[in-house]
A and B are shown apart, each in its own frame.
Chain A
Amino acid sequence: MSGAAAVKRALAEPRWVRVLLLGVGLGFLFFFLALPLLAVFGEAFATGWTAYAKALDDPEALSAIGLTLSVALFVLPGNLVFGLAAAWAIAKFDFRGKSLLITLIDLPFAVSPVVVGLVFLLIFGAQGLFGPWLAAHEIKVVFALPGMIIVTMFITCPFVARELIPLMQAQGKEEEEAALSLGATGWQMFRRVTLPNIKWGLMYGVILANARAMGEFGAVSVVSGHIRGQTNTLPLHVEILYNEYNAVGAFASASVLALLALVTLLAKTIVEWRMRRETLMLKAELPPEKN
């Protein structure tokens, strides 16, 4: 009896350890995640609703929101097409230098945002490589919307591809090959077979890329030039107000971004749940493999 009890004891942590681990883990998450999240809204509403509404109903805040949305609007389609193309090539075909290509796609995750901003400043800035030519043709890239779009494209480049590659690798290519042998054209195969298979993964990648595109600070800060009402995205607007000791204004704008983060988390959770459910359903439909 004592032997069985010992084995059972050795399979799970004693009760006090479980309680301790739960307390430490949840306490850590409370102090580092929940409290900051609460503080954003707490500070934003510190002086009441009217002050909050007034802080957001400000031409500079509104133009910052507009600019943030337009950056995301320009960045995401490029990101989507690149992610699809890269994942298709990498997941469905074998070629030399594939792992090098994957590493290259990951590169933007590793480079500091400040360095990314600087890199594009060196190319498109007044003293940069193309600076004189751009100035002669009166094209503004740096300290204007195009520069901010380009750095954000650099920063968010891996997101969609990174989600799709493992997903498409796991799915293999039998279904696509079957569609083709049944006479489908390439486009029909993509629309009817590939796209339905990857739609959740695709959405997942776009959601993450969108959150990063709207929230990017370091890289955009370097190339924006901080021209008020013109090249200030919402995160940059938050910084300016905070440095002017306008706490309510800064946290009101910050709360919009925090809300965006919460929506992102919610969408991500739903997509993850749908993905899991579909894989389970798929497994249930298939006959069990012979053992």
Chain B
Amino acid sequence: MPRPASGRRLLPGFGLSLGCTLVYLSLLILLPLAGLAFKASELSLAQWWAIATSERALASYRVTFGASLLAAMINAFFGLIVAWILVRYPFPGKRVVDSLVDLPFALPTAVAGITLATLYAGNGWIGRHLEPLGVKVAFTPLGIVVALTFIGLPFVVRTLQPVIEDIEPEIEEAAAMLGASRWQTFTRVLLPALFPALLTGFTLAFSRSIGEYGSVIFIAGNLPLISEITPLLIIAKLEQYDVVGATALAVVMLIISFVMLLAVNALQWWAASRLHRRSGSADERR
């Protein structure tokens, strides 16, 4: 029986599947994004810069980035704890809790938005107890942080969980044998091992938060210069039939998206190569 020479593709369907993929992606993603660039080219660079750096736009970047950064930091801290207890500690109802972590992925953002706004309003279940303490959450920038914390929650937990599961017990045992306290083992051994994944989860949550719209607008109050996020400013411009202004801001957002995507890819590559190096050196020792 004739055997195909090595290097020849044995499996069928390469041309068909790659062709379908490329056509679908081109029509649905590349061509439309090219359309945005085409529309934006009606603007001169100076005009674009003037819109992109107008006072209201700059304020919206500050709100968007500030709230996203804060929310991602909250998620990095609590996400590490949640991932740790989900992997290491036994407790009743763990499977339900574990499934529930994905709720922000499954719950439509508009539902999250109106619910959080209602919970944190002055007469809401949570807001009622915060208002007497002088803490106003709903309809302030703090509300945006709350909404973005909800949205970004699964990213850190789900990135960390498999990495914590994969930590070899030998590493911790070795540290303990060498006289390290539990805190030293954590800060010197565990945290460095978890750091790439933690940073990846942080970046994913941050990147998702920057573009988030549905969950934020209900709780934000949406005051220009104070609690207006950039996606909302784009909508505001569209509602005033300022398509050019909206396009200019969309280009800014799109550039940020590309940068974030590259950052996430670089981080994942770094994390994978670090992991690879570790297991590689472990093999050598054997």
Binding site for B on A (CB under 8 A): 6-14, 17-18, 21-22, 24-26, 28-29, 31-37, 39-40, 43, 78, 81-82, 84-86, 88-90, 92-93, 95, 99, 101, 103-115, 118-123, 125, 127-129, 150, 153-154, 157, 173, 176-177, 180, 186, 189-190, 208, 211, 214-218, 221-222, 234-236, 238-239, 242, 247, 250-251, 254, 257-258, 260-262, 264-266, 268-269
For the complex with contacts A128-B35, A239-B218, 14 further pairs of A-B residues with Cβ separation under 8 Å are A10-B180, A24-B78, A29-B82, A29-B100, A35-B125, A89-B17, A101-B21, A103-B261, A111-B211, A112-B231, A115-B36, A118-B247, A180-B11, A242-B114
Find A119's partner among B32, B175, B179 (CB 8 Å cutoff): B32
Given contact pairs A215-B109, A264-B106, A111 touches B85 in the complex (Cβ within 8 A): no
State whether B89 touches A18 (Cβ < 8 A).
yes
B111 touches A85 (CB 8 A): no
> How far is it, in angstroms, between the C-alpha of A173 and the C-alpha of B10 when the chains are bound?
10
Residues of A within 8 A of B133 (CB): none
Q: How far is the CA of A141 from the CA of B138 in the complex (A)?
A: 37
Instruction: Convert B245-256 into 0s and 1s, putting 1 for each residue whose CB lies closer than 8 angstroms to a CB of A.
Output: 011001001100
B207 at interface (Cβ–Cβ under 8 A)? yes
One of B22-30, B47-55, B191-199 at the interface? B22-30
Interface pair B25/A122, CB less than 8 Å apart: no
- Quick one: closest A residue to B83, CB to CB? A25
> How near does chain B come to A163, taking the closest CB pair, in angstroms?
13
A119 to B32, CA, bound (A): 6
* Residue in A39, A93, A110, A180 whose CB lies within 8 Å of B207: A110
Of residues 177 to 230 in B, which have CB atoms within 8 Å of A's CB atoms? 177, 179-182, 184-185, 207-208, 210-214, 218, 230
Q: B residues within 8 A CB of A128?
A: 35
Closest to B18 in A: A89
In the complex, residue of chain A having the shortest beta-carbon distance to the beta carbon of B103: A33
Determine the main DSSP class of B at the interface with A: helix
B39–A14 touching, CB < 8 Å: no
B30 — which chain A residues lie within 8 A by C-beta? 104
Q: Does A40 contact B115, Cβ atoms closer than 8 Å?
A: yes
Residue of A nearest to B181 (CB): A10
A-B contact pairs, 14 of them (CB 8 A): A9-B182, A10-B182, A13-B182, A33-B150, A39-B115, A39-B124, A82-B24, A85-B20, A85-B21, A114-B234, A122-B36, A189-B12, A238-B108, A238-B110
With the chains together, A172 CA to B50 CA distance in Å?
53
